[in-house]
Structure 1
Amino acid sequence: MPKNILFIMSDQLRFDYLGCTGHPHIRTPHIDALAARGIRFDRAYVQSPICGPSRMSTYTGRYPRSHGSTWNGVPLRVGEWTMGDHLDELGMRTVLCGKTHMRADLEGMRRLGLDPASGIGARVAECGFEIWDRLDGLHPDPVPEPAPYADYLRGLGYGGPNPWEQWANSAEGDEGEILSGWLMEHADKPARIRNEDSETPYTTTRAMEFIAGAGDDPWCLHLSYIKPHWPYIVPAPYHDMYGPEHVLPAVRSQAELSDAHPVLAAYHQHRFSKVFAREEVRQRVIPAYMGLITQLDDQIGRLMDWLEETGRSDETLIVFTSDHGDYLGDHWLGEKEMFHDPSVRVPLIVVDPSPEADVTRGTVSEALVEAIDLLPTFVEVAGGAPKPHVLEGASLLPLVRRQDVPWRGHVISEYDYSSRRAQAILDQSPQDCRLIMVHDGRWKYVHAEGFRPMLYDLKSDPDELHDLGADPTHESECARLGEVLNRWARHPHSRITAPYDAQTGSGAEELELGILIGFWDSHDVDEATRNGESGN
């Protein structure tokens, strides 16, 4: 069994923007090499197609419905089991280098008398991670403290009140003026910062520093990159590595505009969708997005070479994935948040150095897997048994080692759009802004509270261009998947304080305590005692 876990997550990386997943132009040889060393799961889905809820599901092994953090900035309630809780009790350090998007439940902590500055308080406030270097990106003005990356840039002479924005995420004009990387017209220009000082190389260096000083105790390092998430700007030499000739045509049809589901029609009105509907924007932005990915790939190569040189590769389980995708204009949408594959489907590669995994090296699995499967996998690697009353995913190790185990027939993802303009456009009450996807590998069904469902047949329509949810000939398919959703919703998501088998219904413990419920006389009590039963 591997001793350590290197859990790599990139932010907003589409499943199909890697060489190993079929992109015809992008250069990702080092991530492709990981796929050749391990197993690539081709049908991996996140439990919510937006940063915060997706990550909270990955870090808790639970669906958003269960952990309650349903949108960015919604705190993960105090008391939720996290990756750190599960692994720490197995003797494994759980450390963060990079992004979590965690928002602490400060109100809950105050109610329970937990000081966020205390040892336990700090762990609760940081999603159970021991913080090595937190870099969530998107530093507003003023830069929040502590800000190790901003301090690092200042120490290198990058001046200004916000070096993250003014250097790492801005370009420079012909007259020396600062051109904001937030504005997509500047995506073809190099960021002002030197490549080696930008976010992705910095985070890689910090991760290597942790590993080098970690000692002999087992660790799980969450190396969480903030790119290729916007702003879409990248330093030289990556800024012009790709051009308009490398931009694939948008996957969209006029019918998606003229006959859109009400929720999708509302999303088409969002600013980020309107801008990506313009082809000149896609031609300018997507090459920068691809450059950010290749920069990430080069840093993965740097890290993998170092692990090999220092003898750590053979003792480390490596996982590479993303928290969600990016529409980039597909389906007339920008950002993420809906349930087409470019948004909700992610790359997932697992490299298990164990000899038992040799049988799957370089293979591709078609199993339907969920991001919540990662934490049960890590628990098993750490030598524990996943708690089924807490963890809602399943360990991937049997698939990695090609063991014959039953596997799920569908995946679930959820989204709450109450914080988006779509809520006002549709005049929906915030509590009704709920979308839930059920995908069984062929059919993708989306429940939309207050509206008809969406339905796609990925066998005949792999690009998801034709919504069949209003077609009467597909009512039976909608009903079938609707019942799958209902069964999932009826599952006891909230019972996490006692295992399901803690009470089996025999009632024998009641007799031992002298609690005599349902007995007529002492003969009934004697018989129940002999049979190990109770009368309840």
Structure 2
Amino acid sequence: MSEPKPVRNVLYIMCDQLRRDYLSCYGHAHLHTPNIDRLAAAGVRFSRAYTQGTICGPSRMSAYTGRYVSSHQVAWNAVPLPLEELTIGDYLRPHGIRTALVGKTHATPNLEALHRLHIDPDSAQAEPLNEVGFDAYLRHDGIYPDSPLFDDKRESAPYTRYLREQGYGGRNPWHEWANAAQGEDGEILSGWHMRNAGKPARVAEEHSETVYTTDRAIDFISEQAEQPWCLHLSYIKPHWPYIAPAPYHALYGAEHIQAPIQPGQTSDHPVYQAFRQHQESVNFSRDAVRLTVIPTYMGLIKQIDDQLGRLFDFMQSTGRWDDTLIVFTSDHGDFLGDHYLGEKEFLLEPAVGVPLIVRDPRASADISRGTVDARLVETIDALPTFLDALGLPAADHRLEGRSLVPLLHGEQPTWRHYAIAEYDYAFQAPARERLAQPIDRCRMTMVRSERWKYLAYDGFRPQLFDLENDPQEVHDLGSDPAYAEVRETHLGYLFEWLRGLKRRTTISHTEIEVRGQWFRYGEPEAEKVVQIGVW
């Protein structure tokens, strides 16, 4: 059977802080997302996809490098990626594929390494390193705080300039218009305060962040015409501030909210209990907060779906739907009060599970269209999938993810038995200090097998959940003697994973095989290049 012709383009869509169960194709009863559902009907929806880190920076660097957090070392936000780590653009650009960004990456320049190599951080040479390999058609990382520390970044941001061009005034129009409401007396009601989530943002919907980002994506695709491209379309929503423009602020109410996962008896695990004491967790444990914020969270998702409908229609009208691999996902989820937690910094399902939908336009993928695949897949699988679909070398010596193309084409390869995610709470001083943990002993690691989830912690007992019988993770079996063997098995998986991380990254498997033929100790001299062990 002949190999299918490579795809021409890649569209890599990522939302920020989007839970997979807040899409209708993943089962939400009230939040209808017909355009994302359209993509799922035309591709494969993966029901058990996992991010490698439940905070923006680590998750995204795993997506861009195809490597686990322990390998790329970006353990939290604002941690720079080592310069030797290769990213999507490093693999695609040498083959003439423009690799562009519209939206967010959360990338931080590695200034120390640039200075060590005598590279000016503001130079053209440094730009692709600062942008983790992307051609930043539009870098749009989200609202900057009002602090004077961010004045320069805020004023130089393209969206700030865009808002001013549309006539929005003020010191910080990104905050005062796009992320704030207006009170009865004309006062600014900040979107940073969750009490204002139910009010409409002051900005007109056509000038809001999500529409602006979609407009720029369409501009990029139009400009590329028939030239090949990979576009990372990275929306900053539904990440907080939780505030939406009209009419999206008012589409949903308390009656549309899923019942919270808030069991009467919770795990006594020290790390979990420490995170429950965080301000965002205390607030999201209150019904008043959940009932105010979640309808707006849903409205932000609905707006993204509407904008993706615009984009997909444009792609179909221009022929790009027929030659572009499309991947839709998010960087992580959001607890929204489940497990009495806020934010996403814990390795339970609402945070670590992500949507993943992949559409391969080639006829060889027709066999899987509209199906649901329950195999364990990971964020790091995206980059190997791109390389495979584009017909480029696989880089197996460096990439730790696996191509999903065989699954899209109906093949049945031997697949992984567990998924991995990591989180380092050293940066969360409140939890770390409550637990009296040293900075280098704050790691938690998830091993998610077919049935079980095992959470390992530095200095504390593990947690264990039977996801087959307890999908909401309310019964912690981490100290139950009856499950000692299960815990031991998953500890073994953890060690197996650690041993398998790709650390020999500067030489390919092919080159090792070539060199290996030069050193055939004890074999005929004629087959040797290097004369070792000869009598």
TM-score by shorter chain over 0.5? yes
Q: State how 1:333-348 maps to structure 2 within 5 Å.
A: 333-348=341-356
User: Among residues 474, 480, 487, which one is paired with 2:483 in the alignment?
Assistant: 474
For 1:430 and 1:116, locate their aligned partners in 2 and report how far apart those are by CA, in whole Å. Answer: 29
Residue 325 of structure 2 corresponds to: 317
Change in CA separation of 1:358 and 1:153 when aligned onto 2, cut-off 3 Å: same
Q: State how 1:126-275 maps to structure 2 within 5 Å.
A: 126-141=131-146, 142=151, 144=153, 145-256=155-266, 259-275=267-283
Query: How much does 1:248 deviate?
Result: 1.4
Q: State how 1:10-409 maps to structure 2 within 5 Å.
A: 10-141=15-146, 142=151, 144=153, 145-256=155-266, 259-409=267-417
Residue 449 of structure 1 corresponds to: 458
Q: What are the superposed Cα offsets for residues 386-438 of structure 1, whole Å, 9 maximum, x if unpaired?
A: 11111000110001111131111110000000111211110100100000100
For 1:41 and 1:56, locate their aligned partners in 2 and report how far apart those are by CA, in whole Å. Answer: 21
For 1:119 and 1:218, locate their aligned partners in 2 and report how far apart those are by CA, in whole Å. Answer: 23
Please give the TM-score of this superposition, normalised by the length of structure 1.
0.95
Q: What are the superposed Cα offsets for residues 182-227 of structure 1, whole Å, 9 maximum, x if unpaired?
A: 1111111000000010000000000101110113221000000000
For 1:504 and 1:296, locate their aligned partners in 2 and report how far apart those are by CA, in whole Å. Answer: 48
Whether the 8 Å CA contact 1:143–1:162 is kept in 2: the answer is no
For 2:385 and 2:510, locate their aligned partners in 1 and report how far apart those are by CA, in whole Å. Answer: 22
Whether the 8 Å CA contact 2:10–2:386 is kept in 1: the answer is yes
For 1:381 and 1:504, locate their aligned partners in 2 and report how far apart those are by CA, in whole Å. Answer: 26
For 1:425 and 1:221, locate their aligned partners in 2 and report how far apart those are by CA, in whole Å. Answer: 43
For 1:25 and 1:356, locate their aligned partners in 2 and report how far apart those are by CA, in whole Å. Answer: 34
For 2:231 and 2:517, locate their aligned partners in 1 and report how far apart those are by CA, in whole Å. Answer: 45
Whether the 8 Å CA contact 1:528–1:534 is kept in 2: the answer is no
Query: How much does 1:59 deviate?
Result: 0.3
- SS of residue paired to 2:518: helix
Letter in 2 for 1:2: V
Whether the 8 Å CA contact 2:518–2:527 is kept in 1: the answer is no
Q: CA RMSD in A?
A: 1.6
Whether the 8 Å CA contact 1:92–1:382 is kept in 2: the answer is no
Residue 469 of structure 2 corresponds to: 460
Structure 1: which 4+ aligned runs deviate by more than 6 Å?
none
- SS of residue paired to 2:427: coil
Residue 497 of structure 1 corresponds to: 506
Whether the 8 Å CA contact 1:508–1:534 is kept in 2: the answer is no
For 2:344 and 2:515, locate their aligned partners in 1 and report how far apart those are by CA, in whole Å. Answer: 49
Query: How much does 1:89 deviate?
Result: 2.0
- For the pair 1:2 / 2:10, whether they are aligned, the reply is no
Letter in 1 for 2:332: H
For 2:361 and 2:343, locate their aligned partners in 1 and report how far apart those are by CA, in whole Å. Answer: 36
Q: What are the superposed Cα offsets for residues 247-271 of structure 1, whole Å, 9 maximum, x if unpaired?
A: 1111121211xx4211000000000
Whether the 8 Å CA contact 1:507–1:534 is kept in 2: the answer is no
For 2:387 and 2:314, locate their aligned partners in 1 and report how far apart those are by CA, in whole Å. Answer: 26
- SS of residue paired to 1:120: coil
- SS of residue paired to 1:367: coil
Query: How much does 1:303 deviate?
Result: 0.6
Query: How much does 1:119 deviate?
Result: 2.9
Gaps of 5+ in 2: 1-5
- SS of residue paired to 1:165: helix
For 1:30 and 1:402, locate their aligned partners in 2 and report how far apart those are by CA, in whole Å. Answer: 24
Letter in 2 for 1:402: G
Query: How much does 1:113 deviate?
Result: 1.5
Gaps of 5+ in 1: 512-517, 519-523
Residue 3 of structure 2 corresponds to: none
Whether the 8 Å CA contact 1:90–1:383 is kept in 2: the answer is no
Residue 515 of structure 1 corresponds to: none
The alignment of Structure 1 onto Structure 2 pairs a total of residues equal to: 521
Whether the 8 Å CA contact 1:54–1:323 is kept in 2: the answer is yes
Please give the TM-score of this superposition, normalised by the length of structure 2.
0.95
Identity of aligned pairs, percent? 52
Query: How much does 1:506 deviate?
Result: 8.2
Letter in 1 for 2:123: S
Residue 525 of structure 2 corresponds to: 529
Query: How much does 1:92 deviate?
Result: 1.0
Letter in 2 for 1:160: G
